[in-house]
């Protein structure tokens, strides 16, 4: 399968050569390719195929930033300085509107066509179209999934929980029964540290009540009572022993590592975690992991937090046509298939989820498309940094019990009323 996929990629890259003949001589493109979770190792393989077909183009990779917040801080500094050293950036799904409105990104319409985004899953088409312009192109999708120990649920005769109350009851039953075998077993792990994942921790129960944080125009529509109820639900899980008492300190890697060690029954995390559970040499849960939709509040509907990464051309690049051509290649169906099959990176094309090679390599992807398609994006705002900061810091403070749910939600509302008008 890998050989067939690389052959297709090579053909695609070779096809791009024709449009590069005028300016490809001695062109060096520098690409910021994110951190470890964005798999720069796989991106390098794609770049290598492109270079083979386009020998006049040399691609250098820059990586850095273990979290979305750290990457956003770095990119904001570089772009605000109008630095031309980097031609292409991998950016989070929440960033196109913010960066484009700041004048940091090159509109891609003239290079990829104004209708280019119609081929992608709707949430990515929406995020990358800003003011009627193509601001960026999807690299790969992401979403939060509920991972669980299918061996332990089967052992104790428990079905996949559909509501948060059912999950809490299941977690308490299993951890009590397994206490002798594993006294460190946690019922559920979520991200409570003041990181980007905590924005989703706030939104997941809120969305599952059928509530929306903002309208289509970006204006905040916060239902304070429902938001407080969601935060109170997490605190009750702490009191019931389902969540760790220090959940306000838990980051994305902590959840991954503790689940991988066999010390978590249910875990909410991003798509990349699947490979860590399946492939890492120190994983204690190989062959024991299931993936299910996130639960809902009773009477509500399952909802998940969509993530994902985009390729954007810097407004300050001195090689914009060549950079845009590379972005077009990196956001192609063939590239999406390669990343899905080789790295379990979620596709941005509906058709790739059911591709025979992809399903063979990553069987759970056949069910993942419905989760991603039905997922919701974090608030899209030209001031997303402020939106994220208000939500994640208050969520962490509530989970640390330095604020009550009412105080945390009131602070979110007060801060964002001025931003999301």
CA distance 421 to 219: 5
Residues facing residue 264 across a β-bridge: 186
Structure tokens at 182: 């594993």
In this structure, the strands spanning 88-92 and 57-62 are unpaired
pLDDT at 23: 46
pLDDT band with cut points at 50, 70 and 90 for residue 277: very high
pLDDT(93) > 60: yes
pLDDT band with cut points at 50, 70 and 90 for residue 375: confident
The whole-number average pLDDT for the span 202-207 is 97
CA distance 408 to 345: 34
Domains of the chain in sequence order:
2-135+307-373 (3.40.190.10), 143-304+379-416 (3.40.190.10)
pLDDT in tens, 25-51: 689 999 999 998 899 999 999 999 999
pLDDT in tens, 187-196: 999 999 999 9
pLDDT at 333: 96
pTM confidence score: 0.84
* Cα 147–chain centre separation: 15
Mean pLDDT of the chain: 92
pLDDT at 3: 57
CA angle 314, 332, 275 (to 5 degrees): 95
Alpha carbon separation from 59 to 49, 150, 303 (Å, rounded)? 11, 43, 39
pLDDT(16) > 70: no
pLDDT band with cut points at 50, 70 and 90 for residue 2: low
Q: Between 237 and 73, name the one with better pLDDT.
A: 237
The whole-number average pLDDT for the span 146-173 is 97
Q: Between 13 and 379, name the one with better pLDDT.
A: 379
pLDDT(75) > 60: yes
pLDDT at 5: 61
pLDDT band with cut points at 50, 70 and 90 for residue 380: confident
Structure tokens at 392: 């994640």
pLDDT at 13: 64
Burial string for 320-339 (b: 16+ CB within 10 Å, else e) reads: bbbbbbbbbbbbbbbbbbbb
CA distance 384 to 322: 29
pLDDT in tens, 304-329: 999 999 999 999 999 999 999 999 99
Burial of 168 (0-12, 13-18, 19+ CB in 10 A): buried
- Give Cβ neighbours of residue 159 (< 8 Å, ≥ 6 apart): 153
CA angle 269, 275, 280 (to 5 degrees): 110
Query: Could you count the other beta carbons within 10 Å of the beta carbon of residue 343?
Result: 20
Give first-to-last CA distance, the chain, whole Å.
50
Percent of the chain at pLDDT exceeding 70: 94
**Residues 325, 16: contact at Cβ < 8 Å?**
yes
The whole-number average pLDDT for the span 134-162 is 96
- Upper half-sphere CA count for residue 225 (Cβ side, 13 Å): 1
Query: Could you count the other beta carbons within 10 Å of the beta carbon of residue 271?
Result: 27
């Amino acid at each position: 399968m890998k050989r067939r996929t690389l052959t297709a990629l090579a053909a695609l890259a070779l096809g791009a050569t024709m449009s590069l003949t005028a300016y490809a001589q001695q062109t060096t493109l520098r690409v910021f390719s994110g951190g470890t979770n964005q798999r720069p190792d796989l991106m390098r393989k794609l770049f290598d195929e492109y270079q083979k077909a386009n020998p006049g183009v040399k691609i250098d990779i820059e990586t850095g930033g273990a979290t979305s917040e750290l990457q956003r801080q770095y990119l904001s500094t570089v772009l605000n300085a109008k630095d031309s050293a980097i031609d292409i950036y991998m950016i989070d799904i929440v960033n196109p509107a913010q960066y484009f409105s700041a004048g940091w990104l090159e509109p891609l319409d003239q290079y990829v066509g104004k209708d280019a985004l119609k081929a992608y899953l709707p949430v990515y088409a929406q995020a990358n179209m800003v003011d009627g312009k193509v601001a960026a192109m999807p690299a790969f999708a992401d979403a939060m999934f509920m991972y669980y120990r299918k061996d332990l649920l089967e052992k104790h005769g428990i079905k996949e929980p559909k509501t948060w109350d059912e999950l809490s009851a299941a977690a308490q039953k299993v951890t009590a029964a397994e206490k002798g075998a594993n006294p460190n077993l946690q019922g559920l792990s979520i991200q409570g540290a003041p990181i980007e994942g905590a924005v989703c921790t706030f939104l997941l129960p809120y969305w599952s009540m059928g509530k929306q944080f903002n309208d289509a125009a970006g204006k905040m529509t916060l239902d304070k009572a429902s938001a407080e109820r969601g935060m109170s639900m997490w605190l009750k899980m702490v009191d019931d022993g389902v969540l760790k008492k220090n959940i306000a300190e838990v980051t994305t890697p902590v959840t991954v590592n503790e689940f991988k060690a066999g010390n978590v029954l249910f875990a909410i995390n991003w798509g990349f975690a699947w490979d860590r559970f399946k492939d890492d040499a120190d994983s204690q849960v190989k062959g024991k992991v299931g993936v299910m939709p996130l639960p809902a509040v009773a009477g509500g509907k399952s909802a998940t937090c969509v993530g994902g990464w985009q390729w954007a051309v810097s407004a300050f690049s001195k090689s914009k046509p060549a950079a845009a051509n590379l972005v077009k290649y990196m956001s192609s169906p063939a590239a999406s298939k390669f990343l899905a099959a080789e790295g379990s990176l979620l596709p941005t094309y509906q058709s790739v989820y059911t591709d025979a090679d992809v399903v063979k390599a990553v069987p759970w992807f056949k069910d993942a498309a419905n989760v991603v398609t039905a997922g919701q994006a974090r608030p899209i705002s030209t001031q997303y940094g402020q939106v994220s900061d208000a939500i994640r810091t208050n969520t962490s403070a509530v989970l640390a019990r330095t604020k009550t749910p009412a105080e945390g939600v009131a602070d979110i509302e007060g801060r964002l009323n001025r931003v999301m008008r």
